[in-house]
Chain A
Amino acid sequence: MEENILNAGTLNIIITTIILLVIGIFTVMFLFRYQRKRYLHNQELMEMKEAFNRTLLQSKLEMQEQTLNHISKELHDNISPLISIIQINLGKPKLKKDLEIQPELSELKANAGQLMTELKSLSVTLNTDHIMHLGFADALWKELDRIERTGMFKTTRTVKGEKFRLRPEHEIILFRMCQELLNNAVKHSEAKTIAVEINYQTDELHLTITDDGKGFNTELNEKNAAENDSTGLLNVRNRAKLIGAALKFESGNGTGTTVSIRLITHQTSE
């Protein structure tokens, strides 16, 4: 009888121990599974947020492109004809008879011609279709031509590797990034020379823009961007993010600036 009670007690301990340990194991398993679910859910949320930001940025850039296109067409369709009319009027025989105003007239004609050239060039660089038609590299060389025509800068261009075309949207975005960077060099760097190098590698494109200007503190510039209302570099960074390009600034006071862009490409034939 006593032995039976003892056996029952022993069995009770064993069963309770096993049940409690199983409960413990299930508790830990539940914790791990729940945490994993939360982790996946969080990751999903972050991806959605990222996708939303990308869409937002893309829409902003598309709107920007549309505006630039519109300005380009306006320049081409409305302003250019007006300059042509001015040029025609300046060439009228009535004016040619007045010898006193001939020197000023010649200068005016030259100015109008130069204005026409610059306007056409500007219109071309603003026009998305034209950039797509020319291709990124040629459009960039045209932009450099335009800068050189100001007479204030010397430009050098280097191409390495076998040239290939990028995806159309990548070409436009990359071109706009270069435009912004060149614009910064022209406006702020006080440089004399601007050098651009495009290095075509297998499935990768390396682009560097170097100037010999006064340089700047990259970290400080980025920090003060919001305060100074300077969105130039921020735009460049956002655009780089959108096409998945790696962007690197190397600059310091008095040492010039080198901007490197590295883009993984999906080659399309020329």
Chain B
Amino acid sequence: MSKYFYYIYIIPLFLSAVLSLKAFRLNWPGPYRLLSLFLFLTLFVELTAIFWKDIIYLHKTQWWEFSRNNMWLYNIYFLPQYLFYLVFYKAIIPLKKVKVVISVLIIVYVIFWLINIRYIQGLLVPNNYTLIFGSLIILFLVIGYFYSLLVRNKLIVLHKEPLVWISCGALFYNLGCLPYFIWFNKLVTSSQDRAYAFLIVVVLLNTVMYSLYTIAFLWKKIF
């Protein structure tokens, strides 16, 4: 399989980021505009990570020379990534109790990320503990959002609600990747090839997630 196949998720990510500009043009609520900024940040991080170790090899230029390992970029990105989801859902879920839990999670997550990157796993090793914690947080947020849909009095047409598509994307990605993140250490120590082979699952789920984000921004919802 071509190594470029592993970058296929960049296409829906790029599409969703471009389409998300609609949130600014049509003056969608603040959280959607924040999502747009987050998608552009993600696109920037992903492209930088790819160009760092591949294609144009940013790690080695005439001015500098670093390790080809690009994990440091992802490990740093995990902080704004999960913080974004926490802030995004906090603004959208109307249930007070869930908002309180999210506020606590924001503090706990920042502390956890800091301890893990500084003292436990470090900057250059995949921070899968952070990923596991982050995935569990997103699952909690999505379930919380779905629950808020079930208990709210006002009915909405689900397939026309951008947030439902976004939540479905986040749910499928994090549910599907969680087992891989959990067994990652064991897999890497026993067979690096197999750990790499499993990356295809992450890539495919990423593609599904960003495709669902793209669909979310295709709806002409009027806020």
Contacts and interface: CB of A to CB of B under 8 A. Distances in A.
Partners in one complex: yes
Interface of A: 2, 5-6, 9-10, 12-13, 16-17, 20-21, 23-25, 27-28, 31-32, 34-35, 38-39, 42
Contact of B150 (A9, A34, A42): A34
Contacts of B159: 32
A42 B154 CA distance: 10
Contacts of A2: 190
Given A6-B191, A10-B194, A12-B183, A32 B158 contact: yes
Nearest to B184: A13
A13 B190 contact: no
Contact of B187 (A9, A28, A38): A9
B87 interface: no
Contacts of A28: 168, 171
Contact of B155 (A10, A25, A42): A42
Contact of A38 (B155, B176, B179, B183): B155
Interface string B177-212: 011100100110011001000100100000000000
Nearest to B201: A17
Given A6-B190, A31-B149, A35-B155, A21 B176 contact: yes
A39 B190 contact: no
B179 A20 contact: yes
Nearest to B156: A35
Interface residues of B, number: 24
A17 B176 contact: yes
A12 B179 contact: yes
8 contacts: A5-B190, A10-B194, A13-B179, A13-B183, A13-B187, A17-B180, A31-B158, A35-B155
Interface of B: 143, 146, 149-150, 155-156, 158-159, 168, 171-172, 175-176, 178-180, 183, 186-187, 190-191, 194, 198, 201
B201 A9 contact: no
Given A13-B183, A16-B179, 17 more contacts: A6-B190, A6-B191, A10-B187, A13-B187, A16-B178, A17-B180, A17-B201, A20-B179, A21-B176, A31-B149, A31-B158, A35-B150, A35-B155, A35-B158, A38-B155, A39-B155, A42-B155
A32 B198 CA distance: 31
Contacts of A20: 175-176, 178-179
A24 B150 contact: no
A24 B201 CA distance: 16
B211 to A, nearest CB: 15
Nearest to A34: B150
Given A5-B190, A31-B146, A35-B149, A17 B168 contact: no
Contact of B198 (A13, A16, A21, A42): A13
A90 B172 CA distance: 98
A27 B147 CA distance: 11
B173 to A, nearest CB: 10
A138 B181 CA distance: 85
A2 B191 CA distance: 10
Nearest to A19: B179
B183 A27 contact: no
Given A9-B190, A32-B158, A35-B158, A21 B172 contact: yes
Contacts of B190: 2, 5-6, 9
Contacts of A31: 146, 149-150, 158
A149 B191 CA distance: 106
A10 B188 CA distance: 12
B72 to A, nearest CB: 26
A13 B179 CA distance: 6
A21 B175 contact: yes
Contacts of A12: 179, 183
Contacts of A9: 183, 186-187, 190
Contact of B171 (A27, A38, A42): A27
A28 to B, nearest CB: 6
A38 B175 CA distance: 27
A12 B149 CA distance: 33
Nearest to A6: B190
A25 B176 CA distance: 11
B172 A24 contact: yes
Nearest to B197: A10
A28 B158 CA distance: 10
Contacts of B156: 35
Contact of B175 (A5, A23, A42): A23
